[in-house]
Structure 1
Amino acid sequence: MSVFKDLWWFFWQERKAYGAGILMLAIVAFLELIPPKIIGNVIDQIEQGALTTDLLLKYIMILVGVGIVVYIIRYIWRIFIFGSSVKLARQLRNELYTHFTNMSPSFYARKRTGDLMAHATNDLQAIQATAGAGVLTFVDSIMTGGFVLIAMGSMISWKLTLISLIPMPFMALLTSYYGKLLHKHFHTAQASFSSLNNKVQESMNGIKVMKTLGQQREDTEKFVSHSNVVVEKNLRVAKIDALFDPTISLIVGVSFFLSIAFGAREVVNGAMTVGELVSFTTYLGLLIWPMLAFGWLFNIVERGRASYDRVSSLLNEEAVITDKHSKFNETVRGDIKYEVSRFAYEESSDKSILNDIHFQLNQGKTLGIVGKTGAGKTTLLKLLMREHEIEEGSISINDHNIKEYTLNSLRRTFGYVPQDHFLFSSTVADNIAFGHPNASYEEIIEASKIAQVHDDIIGFPQKYETVVGEKGVTLSGGQKQRISIARALLIKPEILILDDSLSAVDGKTEASILSMLKRVRSHKTTIITAHRLSAVRHADLILVLDEGKISERGTHDSLMSQQGCWYRETFLRQQMESLVEDGGF
């Protein structure tokens, strides 16, 4: 029952609703004592010949009245208790989602999307059941069972009551044992469901690759294998769950046998009337529900405890990147200064990604970063946006360490276009206006024109109202890149970062985009990483990265004047390749 202790914060928060619900349950439990007593009285009066029509009508009216009141009260307690459990699921779901949005990239490097989705759905359903049906069965089984036992012992026979309770300790021991097994196997079953969820999510995201490589059958076989594991794990849970009802029914049957056997002897001896024995066995019948509910309670509680443990472990994880040392919550602008001695990712701290990165980019200038794949270009940008923390060195903007700015103010500064373009399953206009939801259509169109995607958009069936599909599946790579650029431009960022974001457009379109950027962002900072060096030739400063170090730096002209340097040789080779592609040779 430790999960109830863990959820006490919520029960206290909703104490009025739960208090009212428990009061209603107590009233119902008390009212349910009336019908068995009336049935016993009627039987005794029939046997004595004392039952009259008026008395029978009176009893019937009492039973009808009790039935109506119980019906109404049961409706009310369901609203209070089940309604509160829905609020718990909503509150935890909101906390989880907020927690997910605040977590650092390293968190998502360790967690699978399918697992996180399972926590926010299946686990929360189990917790909701604990706070709803779990509370109901716990309170109702205790109150109904307690009231019935009191009625049996005080109004009929305390000796017969004790005899009927002889098998109960065995039920307590067995259900406790089943509960421990259930907790263990349900935790495993939930983990297998998370794995299946993750498999489906990955398969749907990679459906085009799967079909291209003809792997539909193999992927289906893997899905069936995952699904079979889920069924196997849940069958283990079901087998344990199935033990509760037969065990309780057997023990209740033994109690009935003892009650009737010893009760009949009491009737023969004249110590008890037939009506009292009927009332007693009817009360004993009322004990079946609390006993079954108690077994069901173990099922619900153990499922809820396993799920609450999983959700709590997520919520207890702390973000690596925080505002702990922040002092400024203002618009960030000014010169950018890198003084990074060394940087390595947490999961591979012994392998340096960046070393001896020292340079300054003045406000309003353009920085070009080039180098081979894996040289550290994207990592250099992620450090600037504080997606990772620097342990050895610092990055400053306007002579302030970026840690001194709040995350909100720092990230408002950037318009970031990543290598992997993500578009939402919404309209083109909504995707462009994602960072500026209140933007006018004129502003959206202006950003699209700068990104050289306006002409493509007006060719779509619904123009700017065209739904692009999940992750922009209906668009070409170049269109997704340019829509992402338009989205970044719409917020008019102080620092625009294009992380290899022109790779899918042709040279002419690239030149047009860069020309427009130079015109509209003449006083703002722009950072461009690229494999195609023509994208950075206009930059005020170009850095060449090689294995995490700056191997060359300068302007396009100064680098081209250096014989044998990587930049010059690569640029000339790419120009030659471009001429060949255009039919120049």
Structure 2
Amino acid sequence: MVILQKLSWFFRLYWKRYAIAFVALLAISCLIMVPPWVTGQLVDAVANDTLTYKQLVEDISLLFGIALVVYGLRVLWRRQLYGASFKLAALLRGRIYNHLTLMSPRFFQRHNTGDLMARATNDVTAVEMSAGEAILALFDGLLTGVIVLIMMTVMVSWKLTLLALLPWPLMGYFMWRFGRQMHDTFFEAQRQFSLLNDKTQESISGIRLIKALGQQPQIKRSYGEVTRDVSAANFAVAKVEAKYDPVIYLTVSTSFLLAVGGGAYWIHQDELTIGELTTFTIYLTFLIWPMFAYGWTLNLLERGAAAHKRIDELLDTAPEISDDGHRDLTNSTHIDVQIKRFVYSDNNKYDTLYDIDFQMTPGCTFGIVGHTGSGKSTLINLLLRLYEGDEIAIKFDRHNIKEYRLDTLRAQFGLVPQNPFLFSVSIAENIALGCPEASLDEIRTAAQLACIDNYIQQLPEQYNTFVGERGITLSGGQKQRIAIARALLVNPPVLLLDDALSAVDLGTERKILKHIKTARSGRSNIIVCHRLSAVLHADEIIVLQQGTIAERGQHTQLLQQNGWYAKMFRYQQIEAAVQHEK
């Protein structure tokens, strides 16, 4: 019953729905007590040869009327009860999604996608059933059981009722034991399902690589091991479930045996009539559902408790980046960065970034270059406040970025990563992601700036072309240019290009940068790159080496310093010349 306590907030929120369902179930439980009593009266009337045509018509009309009313009440409670449980599922999935959007990249490095998907789907469904079918079984089973027992005791025979209920305590003991077992086995089954989800997601996402490397047999064996573990966990759940029905059937059979035997004896003693025994046995059949409901309720509640525990583990994980800022708007894009030291983990031997100090004036173009692993993308992540540290002071418009709400801060930046993410929608919808209300002309203008419009116009469906999952139908350069168009359509105060031109040729890169310079006059741009041609006209360039600033200045100044930047620029110039000759 722990799950019911956990969901008490929801029951209070939708108490009217549950109250209506309860009243409807109570009315049904009372109404279905009438047919057995009427049947017993008819049996006695036939046995005593006192049945009249009028009595028969009246009784049949009564039963038909009760059937119609019960039908309407059953429709009512289903709409109320199941409607409430569906709302619970929607609320939980909304909470999970909102919570995930607050998590830092570290969280997603620790949690597999498949596990998160399982918690948002299967686990939520199990909790939903606890608030729907389990409540139904609890209400209906309890009400029916209590009313049937009252009718059997008051209207027929209390002695026969006690005799028929002798096996019940033993059944209750076994149900309690099975419930404990169900909680543990179902929790493990859900964990294994998470692993299966994750393995499936990885296999499908990496199918091209798997085929290219000829790893199908190995992946097949690995996937088979996971599915066997899942099957074993589900089989353990099934074994526990299989114990419920035999105990219930044995209890029911024993109750019937005792009822018929005891009833026959008391009929012989003239303490009971045949009609009353008929009524009693019909009532006894009504107790089959409460017994099944009891087992089914325990089953669902234990499943729900195990699933709710997994959901709580997720929701109880506090976001590493607190969103308690109070500033909503900013009028300037002045950026001041001072990083004394930053590491991703205390276990790291070396600092990821240290002694970083620079400023960006509004409307400037700022270049960040350096070798692979020098900390360029880390610096961008800190600007966006995807990570933070105690020895970091980053100011936006002369206010610490912690003073801004996260959505306000990140709305000031338009990030184009090296590996952009495209959704499984049309090209137009991908470009208009940040501006859903944009017209096709506005979308085309952004695409022209990103030098992708000509390609799109050659497609059969042009901007309505479906790009596939993660843009699988497009090349790396095409995806990068669509992502650039997406950022340009938003026209953010600060444009962040995180090696976003690495997959386009040199000529296209020059065109895009020229378009950006013209279209974004007076707005700030940060260009992170390996190919130094992208920052030739930057107002300032910093060179990161081993997590710190090794060089800084404009392009001509850096060439004069004859450091890493100058050597890399000359090397890239020679490489470009060789490729041009080819």
TM range (shorter): over 0.9
Is the Cα contact below 8 Å between 2:333 and 2:494 reproduced in 1? no
Shift of 1:348: 4.3
Is the Cα contact below 8 Å between 1:331 and 1:412 reproduced in 2? no
1:399/1:30 Cα in 2 relative to 1: closer, same or farther (>3 Å)? Answer: same
List runs of 5+ in structure 1 lacking aligned partners. Answer: none
Is the Cα contact below 8 Å between 1:514 and 1:535 reproduced in 2? yes
- Map of 1:339 onto structure 2: 338
1:216-240 CA deviation, whole Å, 9 max, x = no partner?
3332332232222222111110111
- Map of 1:190 onto structure 2: 190
1:157-168 alignment runs, 5 A limit: 157-168=157-168
- Map of 1:177 onto structure 2: 177
SS in 2 for 1:416: strand
Worse overlay, 493-502 or 270-279: 270-279
- Map of 2:101 onto structure 1: 101
Cα distance in structure 2, aligned partners of 1:466 and 1:265: 82
Alignment-mate amino acid for residue 497 of structure 2 = L
SS in 1 for 2:189: helix
Answer yes or no: is 1:581 the counterpart of 2:575: no
- Map of 1:279 onto structure 2: 279
Shift of 1:52: 2.0
Shift of 1:107: 2.0
- Map of 2:502 onto structure 1: 503
Cα distance in structure 2, aligned partners of 1:145 and 1:351: 69
1:256/1:501 Cα in 2 relative to 1: closer, same or farther (>3 Å)? Answer: same
Cα distance in structure 2, aligned partners of 1:189 and 1:568: 59
Cα distance in structure 1, aligned partners of 2:330 and 2:33: 70
Structure 1 length normalisation: TM-score?
0.97
Cα distance in structure 2, aligned partners of 1:74 and 1:501: 60
Is the Cα contact below 8 Å between 1:332 and 1:413 reproduced in 2? no
1:69-468 alignment runs, 5 A limit: 69-324=69-324, 326-331=325-330, 333-346=332-345, 348=347, 351-468=350-467
1:62-87 CA deviation, whole Å, 9 max, x = no partner?
22222222122112111111121111
Alignment-mate amino acid for residue 265 of structure 2 = R
1:526-545 alignment runs, 5 A limit: 526-545=525-544
SS in 2 for 1:249: helix
Cα distance in structure 2, aligned partners of 1:312 and 1:122: 14
SS in 1 for 2:395: strand
1:298/1:228 Cα in 2 relative to 1: closer, same or farther (>3 Å)? Answer: same
Shift of 1:169: 0.9
Worse overlay, 244-253 or 33-42: 33-42
Is the Cα contact below 8 Å between 1:366 and 1:526 reproduced in 2? yes
SS in 1 for 2:501: coil
Cα distance in structure 1, aligned partners of 2:296 and 2:163: 25
Shift of 1:351: 4.3
Cα distance in structure 2, aligned partners of 1:456 and 1:281: 79
Cα distance in structure 2, aligned partners of 1:485 and 1:315: 34
Cα distance in structure 2, aligned partners of 1:105 and 1:39: 69
Identity across the alignment (%):
45
Alignment-mate amino acid for residue 141 of structure 1 = G
SS in 2 for 1:275: helix
Shift of 1:332: 5.4
1:51-70 alignment runs, 5 A limit: 51-70=51-70
1:484-541 CA deviation, whole Å, 9 max, x = no partner?
1111111111111100111111111111112222222231111111111111122111
Alignment-mate amino acid for residue 572 of structure 1 = R
Cα distance in structure 2, aligned partners of 1:453 and 1:45: 90
Is the Cα contact below 8 Å between 1:178 and 1:240 reproduced in 2? yes
1:450-475 CA deviation, whole Å, 9 max, x = no partner?
21212222122222221111111111
Cα distance in structure 2, aligned partners of 1:52 and 1:546: 104
List runs of 5+ in structure 2 lacking aligned partners. Answer: none
1:35-76 CA deviation, whole Å, 9 max, x = no partner?
211222222222222222222222222222222221221121
- Map of 2:468 onto structure 1: 469
SS in 2 for 1:20: helix
**What is the aligned-residue RMSD (CA, Å)?**
1.5
Query: How many residues end up aligned between the 2 structures?
Result: 582
Shift of 1:179: 0.6
Shift of 1:349: 5.7
Cα distance in structure 1, aligned partners of 2:548 and 2:182: 55
Cα distance in structure 1, aligned partners of 2:94 and 2:187: 23
1:350-391 CA deviation, whole Å, 9 max, x = no partner?
542111111112221111111111111000011001111121
Cα distance in structure 2, aligned partners of 1:442 and 1:82: 46
Shift of 1:323: 2.6
Alignment-mate amino acid for residue 60 of structure 1 = I
Is the Cα contact below 8 Å between 1:372 and 1:546 reproduced in 2? yes
Alignment-mate amino acid for residue 420 of structure 1 = N
SS in 1 for 2:418: coil
Cα distance in structure 1, aligned partners of 2:331 and 2:373: 29
1:348/1:513 Cα in 2 relative to 1: closer, same or farther (>3 Å)? Answer: farther
Cα distance in structure 2, aligned partners of 1:106 and 1:99: 14
Alignment-mate amino acid for residue 488 of structure 1 = A
Worse overlay, 375-384 or 101-110: 101-110
Cα distance in structure 2, aligned partners of 1:351 and 1:139: 62
Is the Cα contact below 8 Å between 1:252 and 1:288 reproduced in 2? yes
1:257-311 CA deviation, whole Å, 9 max, x = no partner?
2222222211111111122122112211111110011111111111111111111
Worse overlay, 23-32 or 437-446: 437-446
SS in 2 for 1:82: helix
Alignment-mate amino acid for residue 507 of structure 2 = K
Is the Cα contact below 8 Å between 2:130 and 2:300 reproduced in 1? yes
Is the Cα contact below 8 Å between 2:36 and 2:282 reproduced in 1? yes
Is the Cα contact below 8 Å between 1:429 and 1:444 reproduced in 2? yes
Cα distance in structure 1, aligned partners of 2:445 and 2:519: 11
